[in-house]
Chains A and B, each alone.
Chain A
């Protein structure tokens, strides 16, 4: 199908393809919409809400909202950026994010988003929840202190690995990732080769014995902000 759907993002006219979400159309046009739970090739989940945009004035998540003709999308106003900054700050105070010793630091998407938004400290009080670390598996550990409930591992294990190693239990502030065993990860068929391990945006799901491999200065977000790969793709 060669027909395109004209939409406007921050005043820029974009020709979107039918069936695309706003986020996909923006990516293709070299416009970065911040996101955390979204991961290319996984079913959109719509949980983190960092990709909130204003569609004709109404807040919508860009990762699940399909494009429609004449959409006028605000991806950069102070209002939208404030929403996003607040959500990022909520994620920081909700868990226990100790960047200074985290293996993921420098490659962490949550941290990188905070950098991109210029956040020096969250305005909200830190909640310091008591959370567990599951190191029962010989090659993998789960640190719930760092989990942001994005469900990337849940989706990847189910849809890519075909394993269903992860799921959610509890609700509200008590919601957490659980594993498909009566006790811990050691009781599941999770393997170090699982795709689910590659897509954790934070340091919650990690392979053992391979941390800190990349020197400071050469990590993903040491010098260029998250999203700049999408933004520079426009130049091509």
Chain B
């Protein structure tokens, strides 16, 4: 038996050779060997009893995993629109020059790989990067060169953390330079909190009474879609099944959002308590936090919080001395796939599969994780649950707007003076939000991330709430000097990269939308392209299988509606019926270089 084989067998054995724990296995192998090689895939498949093509499918799905070897240190530079606005291209150039490699490559000594990452949840301190699990923020080209020099001297990324961030970022188990940037603390999520208070009140009631309270509080899901939480729990409780599950979606991957990062850092107790209350309400014994791979730096800290809760009797057997109420929570790490924030894809990933969304029906409430009735809620939703039980549903329902009770955490970034996290009551107008953030001269605001909508000043008096401007938390501000179509292009690229590829409209449609928007930006668009884009976007929106594809055309659709002049200024009709997308001088470029002579036709 080779050394590799023995090591992998041990890794598999540590999770009981359980096929559904494939994610943990491949992550461990990747961390240890810098890749999950073909040989490793064979061993894993045999150990957990699954076809090797299944394991290969998993490894090839997640951007943090690879069959080909990566460096001992992987630098992942965040490349979202906010980071680009803050100068990430200069940082990228510095990294590439200092390392002598291009993005996607590894240094010849096999030490350092350089990659781009989609949003890593640090838009308020951009440009930022992950160096393995270590977060480095506020990068400049000088900082990038310094990082490379330090890594060459000592490849331990932890040494890169010079000064610690605020709050629990300085906790011994976190030790990161990340800043929380909490600008407004509201009464629900970010206010002080006594661990166990809400949970003790919950177990003094019947599960049905707990669900009734959640309904009375009119709590709706904070991830963005806004489904009534109490109703979801009731469906799950009533569904038939031996085992029920509570899943917490801590995979905030929507570019521009980072509020869950702050909750996880400062109030994980509030979240774990909400999960435990949910477990009591629906009759579950198992909770899983699906933590995005980008937040691996918080894992040890979260494990410690869980351990403390177990010691306090807030998790484990007979929770809060409630006879027969057993509930515990494990953390499932993701590995770099935005689509896993979609609840059924999240379930697939927790089951150790490719992060493909599932067909609905059945809905997770009927058949979710391992086919058991499953509740999936957002980090912030669970925090609200704890507070509702602690302070009462009436207290909660009093704040907010008519259809949207409570507060909302907003992650604000981009062209504003005070980027950070704001906990504000629902019903606040976008203008008020922009004033708070120091962005009164905003020309365009992306509400709800790329899958949300881009609005202009005429919409600034609209309210942040489910019935008007809905958002999972992401607010990106663009000043007058920004090119709206460049924002659209960037978002489409994001969706092309992050589509799971399962269904046709999303897999192909996003590529086609991006192609046409790029042509328009290059001045090669025709007036008819606007109708072309509209119809293409509507098809992708209507026919895609999951929320990713159903919202990926939103950048196109909302800008065609709200910023149409930006398109109209660039498109032009060719009177001769020539396609502006075809440029002869470019099409003969290769041949001119090969033949050493010039085209006789390109003068036209």
Contact = CB atoms under 8 A, between A and B. Distances in A.
Interface of A: 44-50, 52, 59, 61, 64-66, 82-83, 86-87, 90-91, 93-94, 123-125, 127, 148-149, 164, 166-175, 178-182
Contacts of A166: 53
Contacts of A124: 512, 536
B507 to A, nearest CB: 6
Contacts of B38: 182
Most buried by B among A46, A82, A169, A178: A169
Contact of B543 (A83, A167, A178, A180): A83
Interface stretch (B206-214, B261-269, B399-407, B498-506): B498-506
Given A64-B359, A167-B53, A49 B544 contact: yes
Given A94-B508, A123-B532, A124-B512, A175 B539 contact: no
B503 A49 contact: yes
Contacts of A127: 511
Given A82-B539, A83-B539, A179 B53 contact: yes
B108 interface: no
Interface of B: 38, 41-42, 51-54, 56-57, 60-61, 337, 339, 354, 359, 361, 496-505, 507-509, 511-512, 515, 532, 535-536, 539, 542-545, 581
B487 to A, nearest CB: 21
A174 B501 contact: yes
Given A66-B361, A86-B539, A87-B543, A171 B501 contact: yes
A46 B359 contact: yes
B505 A90 contact: yes
Nearest to A50: B504
Q: Which 3 pairs, one residue from A and one from B, show the smallest C-beta to C-beta distance?
A: A175-B501, A167-B53, A90-B508
Nearest to B357: A46
Contacts of A148: 504
Contact of B53 (A52, A90, A93, A164): A164
Contact of A46 (B51, B354, B503): B503
B535 A86 contact: yes
A87 B61 contact: no
B53 A171 contact: no
Contact of A86 (B52, B536, B545): B536
A44 B51 CA distance: 21
A175 B512 contact: no
A44 B361 CA distance: 12
Contact of B51 (A49, A94, A164): A164
5 contacts: A46-B359, A64-B359, A173-B496, A174-B501, A175-B500
B545 A52 contact: no
Given A83-B542, A171-B61, A172-B496, A49 B504 contact: yes
A59 B543 contact: yes
A172 B497 contact: yes
Contact of A171 (B499, B504, B512): B499
Contact of B539 (A44, A87, A174, A180): A87
A127 B512 CA distance: 9
A175 B359 CA distance: 18
Contacts of B337: 171
A52 B499 CA distance: 20
Contacts of A169: 53, 56-57, 60-61
A170 B500 CA distance: 8
A162 to B, nearest CB: 11
Contacts of A164: 51, 53-54
Nearest to A49: B543
Contacts of B51: 164, 167, 180
Contacts of B508: 90-91, 93-94, 173
B499 A172 contact: yes
Nearest to B581: A125
Given A52-B542, A173-B501, A94 B507 contact: yes
Contacts of A49: 503-505, 543-545
A172 B507 contact: yes
A180 B498 CA distance: 25
A48 B503 CA distance: 6
Contacts of A44: 359
A61 B511 contact: no
B36 to A, nearest CB: 12
A123 B535 CA distance: 11
B501 A172 contact: yes
A124 B337 CA distance: 28
B504 A172 contact: no
Contacts of A94: 504, 507-508, 511
A153 to B, nearest CB: 12
B496 to A, nearest CB: 6
B539 A171 contact: no
Contact of A90 (B42, B361, B500, B504): B504
Contacts of B532: 123
Nearest to A158: B51
B287 to A, nearest CB: 28
Contacts of B53: 164, 166-167, 169, 178-181
B540 to A, nearest CB: 9
Nearest to A84: B543
A87 B512 CA distance: 12
Contacts of B52: 180-182
A180 B60 CA distance: 14
A32 B42 CA distance: 44
Given A46-B503, A47-B503, A66-B361, A173 B56 contact: no
Nearest to A183: B38
A61 to B, nearest CB: 7
A149 B501 contact: yes
Contact of A170 (B61, B339, B509, B536): B61
Nearest to B361: A66
A193 to B, nearest CB: 20
Contacts of A168: 57, 354, 501
B497, B503, B509: residue with the most chain A Cβ atoms closer than 10 Å: B503
B48 to A, nearest CB: 14
Contact of B505 (A64, A87, A123, A170): A87
Contacts of B505: 49, 86-87, 90
Nearest to B51: A164
Contacts of A167: 51, 53-54, 56-57
A148 B501 CA distance: 11
B515 A125 contact: yes
Nearest to B508: A90
A87 to B, nearest CB: 5
Contacts of B57: 167-169, 178
A42 to B, nearest CB: 13
Contacts of A50: 504
B511 A173 contact: yes
B504 A175 contact: no
A93 B536 CA distance: 14
A172 B269 CA distance: 36
